[in-house]
Amino acid sequence: MAAASAMARKERYAVGLMSGTSVDGIDAAVIRIAGDADGSGTGTGGEDAGGQPDVQLVAFANTAFPAAVRDEIFELFDPSRATIDRVGRMNVRLGELYAEAALSVIASAGLKPEDIAVIGSHGQTIYHAPDAFIEDGRDLRFTVQIGEGAVIAARTGIPCVTDFRVADMAVGGQGAPLVPFTEYGLFREADRTLLLQNIGGIGNITVLPAGCAPEEVYAFDTGPGNMLIDGVVSRLYGGERTMDVGGAIASAGKINRQLLEILQDEAYYALPLPKSTGRELFGSVYVDELIAYRDAHGLTAEDLVATVTMLTAWSIGDAYRRYVQPSHAADVMLVGGGGSYNPSLLGFLKQEMGPMGVEVLVQEDIGQSSDAKEAVAFALLADYAIARRTNNLPSVTGAARPVVMGKISY
Ligand SMILES: Nc1ncnc2c1ncn2[C@@H]1O[C@H](COP(=O)(O)OP(=O)(O)OP(=O)(O)O)[C@@H](O)[C@H]1O
Ligand SMILES: CC(=O)N[C@H]1[C@@H]2OC[C@@H](O2)[C@@H](O)[C@@H]1O[C@H](C)C(=O)O
């Protein structure tokens, strides 16, 4: 650290691309970085996580996926339909779409591709199997993110870092969540314990204890984020709607306590840490069961949406009660991700957290963007990768050691 901090810090730009588990589109951010992770190429240890890089968001854009692309990605979530030719083609197609999103956000920042040092692209997760799977004495856990980095690099002329998660898994980690590494650098405070709750497709929480060291950070997936809400809305409204915009449907419904209690029994909520989850658990099969329950018990569409919205808020409160409050009573929960824009969900979350003394704010309340946070994170993770600096947090993912995550296409 000391040697690295003493080096000259060259200001540079990086682009981050995120397309998450909601499959709503591509988030693209341009950031300006000054400070740590400076490209000295010396990084070998977890000391990299200690720096506080100076990062500014220069431009941000969200491009919705064309409907046909979104539909095809959903097909690929089903392993029996994700044939190798479909996956291979989508890998290239997404590479093209990511490259277009990168070029467009760079132009909107008034910059040129040659001004950008690196692109970090998360890719589209189509399968995530983070738990140890031992066969012949070998651990075969895996995760699949697609969106070809070679295509992004070829179209933009900018080195592109992709496929971050597998390096963490190769040393026994869950390969998720990865954003806490950058949250530690960007958000930690000396005097307040902060909870950073992302509500994307999946919900995930990062705990930043007051004045914490990197190894004291912990984070995990709390359960569904918007995935169940989007799933039931899409099904109930015949695909005409894909989300509960403004929480309007939920606000017109009544919570069905009986269904809520059944859903609260899901084993994931009580699993020990570290843990991560995805569409494999809270995807279409789960939604089928919810719809079957509604049909059998005569719930209105609004009641079902209200109930899964409440479940989502409850699962966040439950995670806090079980895994955080006993050791780290928090002051503030800072919510990011698309769930920030659903007032019904936020209202339920405030009902959950308020009595435990935790104030719920959204990123916008502190002058940041709920939308941009993950794209910013992948720009920064790529900045570390290209400098050969370690960029995982073993305390969070369960990895045996710090590693440099990301594969580089020049
Ligand atoms: N105005 C809105 N009203 C209600 N919900 C919204 C609104 N805008 C976004 N959302 C919700 O946020 C979701 C997108 O969130 P986000 O982009 O954070 O997810 P993601 O990055 O795909 O997921 P993850 O972080 O799990 O990978 C949408 O699918 C929708 O459910
Ligand atoms: C495998 C995968 O894509 N996981 C995502 C997903 O979406 C939210 C949550 O589940 C989190 O674990 C992760 O994404 C964020 C960007 C992360 O790694 O921090």
- Is the model more confident about 36 or about 249? 249
85 is in an annotated binding site: no
In this predicted structure, the answer to whether residue 330 has a pLDDT above a threshold of 90 is yes
Indicate which residue's Cα is closest to atom 29 of ligand 1.
Answer: 22
371 is in an annotated binding site: no
Q: Quote ipTM for the complex.
A: 0.96
Specify whether the CB–CB gap between 191 and 210 falls below 8 A. yes
Query: Average pLDDT for residues 85-96, to the nearest whole number?
Result: 98
For ligand 1, say whether the CB of 244 is within 6 Å of any of its atoms. yes
Three-state DSSP class for 55?
strand
Q: What is the pLDDT of residues 225-244, one digit of tens each?
A: 999 999 999 999 987 899 99
Residue type, 152: I
Specify whether the CB–CB gap between 331 and 195 falls below 8 A. no
18, 21, 22, best to mutate for ligand 1 pocket (most atoms within 8 Å of CB): 22
Q: What is the pLDDT of residues 218-227, one digit of tens each?
A: 999 999 999 9
Binning pLDDT at 50, 70 and 90, where does residue 84 land?
A: very high
The Cβ-side half-sphere exposure at 17, using a 13 Å CA radius, reads 36
For ligand 1, say whether the CB of 20 is within 6 Å of any of its atoms. yes
Q: What is the pLDDT of residues 101-148, one digit of tens each?
A: 999 999 999 999 999 999 999 999 999 999 889 999 999 999 999 999
Stated length of the chain: 410
Binning pLDDT at 50, 70 and 90, where does residue 9 land?
A: low
Identify the burial level of 284 via C-beta atoms within 10 angstroms of its C-beta, where 0-12 means exposed, 13-18 middle and 19 or more buried: middle
Quick one: which ligand is closest to 381's CA?
2
40 is in an annotated binding site: no
Nearest to 367 by CA among 339, 336, 344: 336
**How far apart (Å, rounded) are the C-alpha atoms in residues 351 and 345?**
10
Query: Average pLDDT for residues 351-373, to the nearest whole number?
Result: 95
Q: What is the pLDDT of residues 141-189, one digit of tens each?
A: 999 999 999 999 999 999 999 999 999 999 999 999 999 999 999 999 9
Compute how many other C-beta atoms are within 10 angstroms of the C-beta atom of residue 390: 22
pLDDT of residue 132: 87
Hey, which bits of 147-302 come out as E strands? 160-162, 194-199, 202-208, 218-224
pLDDT of residue 2: 37
CA of 214 to the centre of ligand 2 (A): 19
Ligand 2 pocket by C-beta < 6 Å: which residues? 20-21, 125, 128, 143, 176-179, 200-202, 204, 221, 276, 278, 374
Can you tell me which atom of ligand 2 is nearest the CA of 165? 1
**How far apart (Å, rounded) are the C-alpha atoms in residues 115 and 273?**
41
26 is in an annotated binding site: yes
Peptide linkage before 79 cis (omega within 30 of 0)? no
94, 178, 204, 374, best to mutate for ligand 2 pocket (most atoms within 8 Å of CB): 204
Residue type, 297: H
For ligand 1, say whether the CB of 341 is within 6 Å of any of its atoms. yes
**How far apart (Å, rounded) are the C-alpha atoms in residues 114 and 158?**
7
Q: What is the pLDDT of residues 307-328, one digit of tens each?
A: 999 999 999 999 999 999 999 9
CA of 340 to the centre of ligand 1 (A): 8
121, 182, 243, best to mutate for ligand 1 pocket (most atoms within 8 Å of CB): 243
Average pLDDT value over all residues in the chain: 93
CA of 16 to the centre of ligand 2 (A): 15
**What structural domains and CATH numbers belong to the chain?**
1-183+372-409 (3.30.420.40), 189-370 (3.30.420.40)
Can you tell me which atom of ligand 2 is nearest the CA of 179? 19
In this predicted structure, the answer to whether residue 47 has a pLDDT above a threshold of 50 is no
Hey, which bits of 130-274 come out as E strands? 134-135, 138-139, 142-146, 160-162, 194-199, 202-208, 218-224
Nearest to 179 by CA among 409, 408, 410, 405: 405
pLDDT of residue 4: 43
pLDDT of residue 36: 61
Nearest to 107 by CA among 59, 150, 160: 59
**How far apart (Å, rounded) are the C-alpha atoms in residues 56 and 58?**
6
pLDDT of residue 31: 98
CA of 14 to the centre of ligand 2 (A): 21
pLDDT of residue 41: 33
CA of 176 to the centre of ligand 2 (A): 6
pLDDT of residue 91: 98
Quick one: which ligand is closest to 128's CA?
2
Q: Which residue has the tokens 């403004």?
A: 246
In this predicted structure, the answer to whether residue 289 has a pLDDT above a threshold of 70 is yes
Quick one: which ligand is closest to 21's CA?
1
24 is in an annotated binding site: yes
Three-state DSSP class for 14?
strand
21 is in an annotated binding site: yes
143 is in an annotated binding site: no
Specify whether the backbone of 214 is left (phi greater than 0), alpha (psi in -120 to 50) or beta.
alpha
Structure token pair of residue 308: 């899964």
Q: Where are the alpha helices (DSSP H) in 357-401?
A: 373-386, 394-397
Structure token pair of residue 251: 């606000």
**How far apart (Å, rounded) are the C-alpha atoms in residues 102 and 380?**
15
For ligand 1, say whether the CB of 221 is within 6 Å of any of its atoms. no
Binning pLDDT at 50, 70 and 90, where does residue 53 land?
A: confident
Find the largest Cα–Cα distance for the chain. Answer: 67
CA of 337 to the centre of ligand 2 (A): 11
Going by the DSSP 8-state scheme, the letter that residue 274 receives in this structure is S
**How far apart (Å, rounded) are the C-alpha atoms in residues 15 and 113?**
10
